[in-house]
Amino acid sequence: MASVIPLSLLLLHVFLCFSVGVHSKTLKLANECRHTVWPALVSGSGTPPLLTAALALQPNKSITISLPAFWSGWLWGGTFCTYNAIGRLACATGDCCSGSPECASASAQPPVTMAEFTLSGDGNLDFYVVSASRGYNLGILVVPHDGSGGDCMASGCVKVVESFCQSEQSGGCNSTCFGYSDPKYCCSEANTPPDTCKPSPYSQYFRSKCPWAYRYANDDGNSTRKFDCASSDYFITFCPRRSPATG
């Protein structure tokens, strides 16, 4: 008589078969700000939404979120968020107009600093970058951890001079595109070619302060090289106390 395989062993065998070659990844979010940050994590089209509970990340606290091996999306931080009398959430910066900490799309109101991710993309590499093209509301640093291939460079925009940008509490700093809604600054309509859509004083300032970030639609130089890494976890810090250059 053939022996009967226990159901628990059969399920384990199926799990292992489907897990071969797939590296589960994590995002560790840490808040080094002096105030609470409301992280927003939105999945892109064709990738599964993340089952994350609404949270307010207190100063000097961190949380780790599991990611599927194949995922793309955006991450940013809302600041100075409060609930009104009917329980709807509104944030001074980074508000996505959903009325709750869970955002349905990457529609955060500028100014907002955003991190963008595509995991297990071309060549099985992860691609990521911190962008100030929608403005700046707080520093963000993305650091790969234990990657097995690619450049695995840190990307981030850590801190700007408040004489140029307002303080985080008073509303951040809008990019020229979102501040003026002018096609020549947004590289839209007939202004897409690089010789037509050129750097503005905003993007030039951020080029000096945030060389490891993306700054406007036709950005060039170090920030537009694809920050890539393979089989890596990622540490994301809000208001980091160090820059990518200092390690």
Q: What is the pLDDT of residue 179?
A: 57
Q: pLDDT of 185-217, one tens digit each?
A: 666 655 555 666 666 666 677 666 777 777 655
Q: Which residue has the higher pLDDT, 172 or 98?
A: 98
**Quick one: which of 66, 19, 178, 56 has its CA closest to 114?**
178
Q: Which residue has the higher pLDDT, 247 or 26?
A: 26
Q: pLDDT of 84-143, one tens digit each?
A: 888 888 899 888 878 777 787 777 888 889 999 999 888 889 999 888 878 888 899 999
* Interior angle at CA 70, CA 75 and CA 232, nearest 5: 70
Q: What is the pLDDT of residue 14?
A: 34
Contact yes or no for 216/177 (Cβ under 8 A): yes
Q: What is the pLDDT of residue 148?
A: 83
What is the distance between the alpha carbons of residues 99 and 84, in angstroms, rounded to a whole number?
9
| CATH match for 24-238 among 1.20.58.480, 3.90.1150.10, 2.60.110.10, 2.60.120.10 | 2.60.110.10
* pTM summary value: 0.77
Say which DSSP state 2 is in: P
Q: What is the pLDDT of residue 21?
A: 43
Q: Tokens in use for 11? A: 């399920």
The average pLDDT across 39-52 equals: 82
Lowest mean pLDDT among 66-80, 85-99, 177-191: 177-191
Does 1 have pLDDT greater than 50? Answer: no
Residue 214: how many CB atoms within 10 A of its CB?
21
What is the distance between the alpha carbons of residues 137 and 76, in angstroms, rounded to a whole number?
9
Q: What is the pLDDT of residue 10?
A: 34
What is the distance between the alpha carbons of residues 84 and 92, in angstroms, rounded to a whole number?
13
What is the distance between the alpha carbons of residues 90 and 78, in angstroms, rounded to a whole number?
9
Spell out the domain ranges in the chain: 24-238
